[in-house]
Amino acid sequence: MKIYSIHDPEFAPYGKVLSGYDTEALLKTLDGVTPLPEGVEYVPSQPELEALPIAGQLASNAYGGMPIQLGWCNGHNTRLNCLEYHRDSELNCGTADFILLVARADEIIGGKLDTAKVKAFLAPAGELVEVYATTLHYAPCSARAGAGFKVLIVLPLGTNEAGPEILPLNNEDRMLWARNKWLLAHPDSSEAAAGAYVGLAGENIDIGKEIE
């Protein structure tokens, strides 16, 4: 699987790099107060991150005044497992290089996405990346064999908390897995075993060989 850079024109349909932000204090705090688990752990809101001046800048500038949350996704990972999307963009910034596996929402056909559509992009440490609302994504992947990642996750306030109890009206409603989180799981994933909508067809991509 080819791994592109987020600076490559191939990334344009999926997101963009946000310039002008000083991420130094953010990355120092992220590295200092969050763990690096062997697996993958996600925390939607970290008070130490939300107390930094950049949190206000992101709420005002990047989200146009919307309330947001600053959390993190840390660990070690090389597999796709699932893809998710939100109704708003997500911002990512890593203390080290990491890789995003992404696809486009318009590539979901009949409630299924062929994982052959997935592309990989390397995000350099310290760069603030916007992942568009129309971009399917999930947990970051390690950029080097054995290396971990600590990645900032910025989303509208309340995202990924317990979702509403709904009566499904259409196929997309079956994908709703948490608040502002629609999820397509691969049948081999733990999420599928937990009852998530199985919407990924094809190989459960593993980039382990590409980063050796």
Q: Domains plus CATH for the chain? A: 3-211 (2.60.120.10)
The confidence band for 8, taking pLDDT boundaries of 50, 70 and 90, is: very high
Average pLDDT rounded to a whole number, residues 185-197:
97
Tens of pLDDT, residue by residue over 67-120, are 999 999 999 999 999 999 999 999 999 999 999 999 999 999 999 999 999 999
pTM of the model: 0.97
Burial (CB count within 10 angstroms: exposed 0-12, middle 13-18, buried 19+), residue 35: exposed
The CA distance from 195 to 191, in Å, is 7
The CA distance from 150 to 70, in Å, is 13
Does residue 15 contact residue 6 with C-beta atoms inside 8 Å? Answer: yes
Tens of pLDDT, residue by residue over 33-76, are 999 999 999 999 999 999 999 999 999 999 999 999 999 999 99
